[in-house]
Structure formats: C-alpha cells, structure tokens
Structure 1
C-alpha cells in the first residue's frame, strides 16, 4: 500500500445544519480576508516600487539638467565643434511603473553615451586650440625631442637630417595631440571652471615643454589634475543625488521649516549650493518630522477606512481638521444624539476615543441610551482593533471604563485644534 486511497468520515451529530452553515460562512469570510490582505500587501509593494522608480526618474532629470548646463558652458567656450545634446526631461504623470523603468534604462544609456561624446569633443577642441597657440619656429624641434614620450619609442635618431626632423615633428605633433585628447577626454563635463583652468594650464605646459622629460612630468601632472577634478565632480554628483532623494522624501511635508529646507535642497540640485553637514542635519530632522506626519495620516486613513466599513462617517466639514490636527468626529446614521471623538496622538502613539452627546438629553431614558451607545462603540472598537492589525497597526488598550461608569459629556461642537491637557485628553479614553 503506497498510501491512503479512500477514507470515510462521519459528522458529529451535535453539529446541526445551521452550525455547519455558519462555520462554512466563517471559513469563506476568513478566506476572503486572507485574499484581501494579500491584495493589500501586493498594492503596498507596488506602491513602494513605484516610489523607488519615481526617485530614479527625478535623479535622472537632475542629471539631464546638469548635463545640459555643461553642454552650454563648453559650447560657449569652443563653439560649434560641440554638437552633443542632452536627453529630454521626463514629466512624471500617468505612466506605469514599467514605463518609467524603461525610460530610466534608456535615458541612463543615452546620458552615458552623450557624456562620453561631449568629453571627446571638448578634449579635441582643447588639444587643437593648444597646438594652435604653440605653433612657433621652435615648436617642431620641441615636438621631436618629446617623441620618445608620445610615440613610446625606445629612441629618436639624433642623426636624422633637418628635413626628416621636420617631417617627424609633424607626425609627433599629431601623436601628441591625440595623446592629450585621450587624457583630456577623461575629464567629466561638469567639473568646475577653476578645475578647467588648472587642467588647461597643465595641458599647455605639456605641449610647450622644451624637453621630453619636461613633457613627461607635465603629462603626469595633467593626469593627476584630471583625476582630482573628476573626484570633486563625482562628489558633487553624489550630493545632487542625495539632495534629490531628500527632496522626494520631504515632498509631502508641511510647515515653514520643511519648505525652507526644500528650497535649500533645490539650490543644491540646481548646482548653486553645496550639501554641507549643517544642511544634512536639518534635512534629516525634517525627514523625521515628515515621517511622523505621514504615519499620522496613515493611522487616520486606516481608522477612517475601517470605521467607514462599520457604518461610521466623519462629520461633514471636519476633513481639514482630521488631517491637520489628528482629530475627527465619528457619527452614525442611527445615532441622533451621539458621536465619537477620536484623537490620534502621534507623539504618544495613542488613539484616544470618547463617546459624546451632541444634544442634551431631557428625559430619564437618556442614561439608558448613553449606555447603549457606549456598548455599541465598545463592540465597534474591538472590530476596529482587528482591522488595524491587518493594516499593520498593533493596538493595546491602556485605559478603559465600563459603559455607564462615567457620564457621557455634552460636546455640541467639534473639538478645537488647540492641544488640551493630558488628563482631559485621556478622559473617557478606551
């Protein structure tokens, strides 16, 4: 026997048809809840992935802006020999995440190719300009002396005739120009004007060297200056990328301080300022504040969504108050005299709730109705905790009072956004 082939079962007689039906419905509800949770998590993962890709698009847009500026700077200096153009910036709209990813991949390659072409064009222009400036009766003699360096030959025939030296000088001149162009082509286009002047000076001294030894020394110095300039340029690129990502995080933040930091980061992205440690610390503080704001909005949205599915509504005209102060008022269609005040305390990580009267009770039956509403809210609150748990928000009751233990307060108008005392805030908390 390889395993069970047929198995009989027998229902417990104590399980009635109604019980079985109820159990089946509960199983279906649990499965629906599992599917709903899987869908919610998939949507959250998709949202996080899109957010990552949007950040990449913004970083590439900043690089395109910087590259376009570099193109214009070198075009002004060297004229129409610079033909490279920057890719077109993408306006983020209704594109799908996949479309944005494809654009990033395509533009990243385009930028790399354009960057290389711009460096080559700029290097050729610099080399040609330097040799034009160094054209003199003694230039051919110097170039022949430098042939050992630039042609990488073991020796130069000292006994060659003058005509041969002139001819060799022209060839060496061409080889030197190509060598300089190769070295200068390594220079990133977004280096500073100060670095450009320093590098051009070293290149000029290389082309004007009187001996091969002097030319060799200046060529080494030229390579060193190019490397240093590139290191500084890459550091600035890193600062811009960091500033772009900080701006993205702070995009949903509110308040004058956050806006001021966004303005400063914008200056860094535009290349008009540096991302120093002071700005980094301020941005980090703002990022923490914005994270708290986002968390509070998520809690409020989760609470509102959960309670809406349970028959509660946010009172009309309270939407702004809900977002700004973390406070909301809940009502029900079958509640004519009662509501629930709910405060999200971000600092304390608390949900404070209280059943309140919106109109005064005038008969002996008012207390009974108060107790009924509190009992109804207690049952709803247990459901709310379950729904919040599915939304990733664990809750633990710290303070509770039994229905009818404390008189329900009369609060005819919405709670003011001003901060109240903790004792008052915790009153009737559940």
Structure 2
C-alpha cells in the first residue's frame, strides 16, 4: 500500500455475542469470558472445541436477552400496580443458558397470572365507577313511542346479576396498560346499560362495550409494538457502537504494540466517529490518518507533515510507506487473533503516488523544513 488503504472489517461471531452479553448485563462479567475462550480456541485452531463453545455463547447470549425482557416486564407491571410479582433476576457468572431459560419460563407463568389479576382488579375498579354513577337495569319498564301504557320488561332481580357478570367478564379483558382515555370510553359505554329497557338493548350495549375494550387493547398492543421496535432500534445502535469501540481499541492496541503512538484525531467535526492519528518518534515528517467508517470499512492514509523539498524527501517517503505497509500486515495478524477480520479492498505499492501533504503545511511550509533544506545545500 502507499498513501492509502481500505479494508472491510468483519467481526468474529464470538466478539459480537460477547459484546451483546456485556450490554445485556450492563457490566463486564465472567460470562463474557466464555466468548473470549471461544476466540482463544479459534486462534489455537481447535475447530471442534470452538464450535461447541460458540454454540454455548450463542445460547447464553440469547438467554440473557430473554432475562432482560422479563425484568423489563416485571418493572412495567410493578409501575401499573400489579401484586405478587417475582423479583428481577441478576445473572451470575455460573449461570448456564438452560438455567436462565428455565427461570424465564417460570417467570412467564407468574407474570401472566399477575397481569390477569391486575386486569380483574382494574375491572372491579371500573365497575365501581360505573355502578356508582347509577345502578344497572333499575328501570323495569319501557314506554311506547306514543307515550301509551308501559310494558313490563325483565325484572331487575333476574336481569341485573346476569348483566353484572357479563359486564365483569368483558371488563376483565381490558389490558392493564390501556390509557385513561380508552378506559373512559369503556366506562361511558358501560353506563348505557342503566338506560336499557330489555335484554336485547342490554346485549347491544354489551357488544359496544366489547368493541371498545377490543379497541383499547389494540391501542395498547400497538404501543407495546412501538416500544419493542424502538427498543430493538436502540439495541442495534448500541451494539454497533460497542463493536466500533471494540475495533478502535484493538486497532490502537495493535499499533501501539508495534511502536506507534495512537491518538484520537480532533481535526474534523466527525472525529468522534472513529478517527485516529498514528505517528512514531522517528517519523518527524510523516503520520497516518486512520478512520473507521459506519459501513465497517477501515480507511488509512499516510500524509506528509511538511512539504517535499527534494528527491531525498521522496526517497524517505517511499521508505516510510514500505515501513507502514509491513506494519499494517503485522497489525492485521494481531487483529485477526482478536476476532477482527480484514479484507483489503484497495491499496497501492509504495512509491506509486506522491504522499499528500497536510493542508496547513501545503500552503505555508514550515520553518523547520526550510532550515533542513539549507543544511543539505552545499556552500550554505
């Protein structure tokens, strides 16, 4: 390679899963060491052992995500006022995927029971609000349109218990996270039962209550889905950032081990997206700008810190390029051991193109460079 190189970055599955476990736990843990062990087995060439370990890591990472979801549901139901909730689980270093999965299954049953009990509790509260306003089916007669004689309908003693029971079943289907607005809509429909004059009218009102409960539940499920999608989107962003930080840290370590000084670049507004500057003590006139882009592509460019003054400078450029080329290949091997594959998609041989000069130096040069040039010229 010469002044530039581009390489596609691919993370090993063990790295991806390990980073996911760390995020799911919210902290570093011995659990993540299982992913590191899979990488070690990979580097040692133990394919069969790596396959088993990687499958274990994958199952564990999936189980941890399931635990996180159950913990979130426990917190949500607690905020809604549910009782008899299980305690959230904090996974430990010795937990196996099978143990975590079993806890999730047991917890699901408890959460379903708690949610059902909460729905019944809410239904009772709604019933109180409905019946406090006015009793159901208290009027046992209806009037004809011409205000003629009243005709007797079902008596309250026979109709009301059936209506109360039917209404209770309908209200109990209302999801506990329905909004106050949706609950008011259900209550308003249910109160119409007090104005019905017969079983047919009551069934019509009950149907309307059912429809409003269904609408309220659809709204609640829609909100749940929106929250889930947003959580997945945020999770993907956080995973991508964790992977980016991992690559940058390993790139920094690899080149520091090779004798380079690695610093974050602050020359552009997008430096926080993964820009690094590599330099060496015996490189007074050269540096490498390296950047990890969002498309998992690593781009590096060697530049001159001072303008080229003579052919000797060009000879030094080629030497530095060759040195950088050799170092990059060594770094790729180190990154491979850390689970970071790199597929070089573009590069040039040393000396094919002139090195670019840093913008400030290109226009103004430097006092040191001019002094160095004078020292090289005979008679001066």
TM normalised by structure 2 equals: 0.58
Q: Distance in 1 between matches of 2:70 and 2:232?
A: 8
Which of 217, 221, 241 pairs up with 2:204? 217
Kept after mapping to 2: 8 A contact 1:115/1:189:
yes
Partner in structure 2 of residue 183 of structure 1: 170
Change (3 A) 1:140 1:347: closer
Q: Distance in 1 between matches of 2:204 and 2:160?
A: 18
Partner in structure 2 of residue 380 of structure 1: 327
Q: Deviations over 1:93-145 (max 9, x none)?
A: 86768476566545443332111101112223433554465449x72847xxx
Q: Which has the higher contact order (CA 8 A, sep 6+)?
A: 2
Partner in structure 2 of residue 57 of structure 1: 68
SS of 1:328's equivalent in the other structure is: strand
Partner in structure 2 of residue 110 of structure 1: 110
Change (3 A) 1:392 1:87: farther
Change (3 A) 1:342 1:106: farther
Q: Distance in 2 between matches of 1:208 and 1:233?
A: 29
Kept after mapping to 1: 8 A contact 2:122/2:172:
yes
Which of 342, 354, 369 pairs up with 2:302? 354
Kindly indicate which of the two structures has a greater share of residues assigned to strand. Answer: 2
User: Cα RMSD between the aligned structures?
Assistant: 5.1
Partner in structure 2 of residue 67 of structure 1: 77
Partner in structure 1 of residue 249 of structure 2: 301
Q: Distance in 1 between matches of 2:260 and 2:167?
A: 74
Deviation at 1:402, TM superposition (A): 4.2
Q: Distance in 1 between matches of 2:327 and 2:51?
A: 22
Check if 1:312 corresponds to 2:265. no
Paired residues for 1:398-409 under 5 Å: 398-402=347-351
Q: Which runs of 5+ in 1 are unaligned?
A: 1-29, 72-83, 143-157, 160-164, 253-290, 359-364, 411-430
SS of 2:343's equivalent in the other structure is: coil
Q: Which runs of 5+ in 2 are unaligned?
A: 1-40, 142-150, 307-311, 359-380
Aligned residues: 298
Change (3 A) 1:337 1:221: closer
Q: Distance in 2 between matches of 1:37 and 1:337?
A: 49
Partner in structure 1 of residue 138 of structure 2: 139
Q: Deviations over 1:292-321 (max 9, x none)?
A: x66654543343344455x33435xx2586
Q: Distance in 1 between matches of 2:256 and 2:197?
A: 86
SS of 2:300's equivalent in the other structure is: strand
Q: Distance in 1 between matches of 2:178 and 2:119?
A: 11
Which of 219, 226, 229 pairs up with 2:216? 229
Change (3 A) 1:222 1:375: closer
Check if 1:244 corresponds to 2:231. yes
Kept after mapping to 2: 8 A contact 1:59/1:244:
no
Q: Deviations over 1:386-420 (max 9, x none)?
A: 555662321134223249x969989xxxxxxxxxx
Deviation at 1:203, TM superposition (A): 1.7
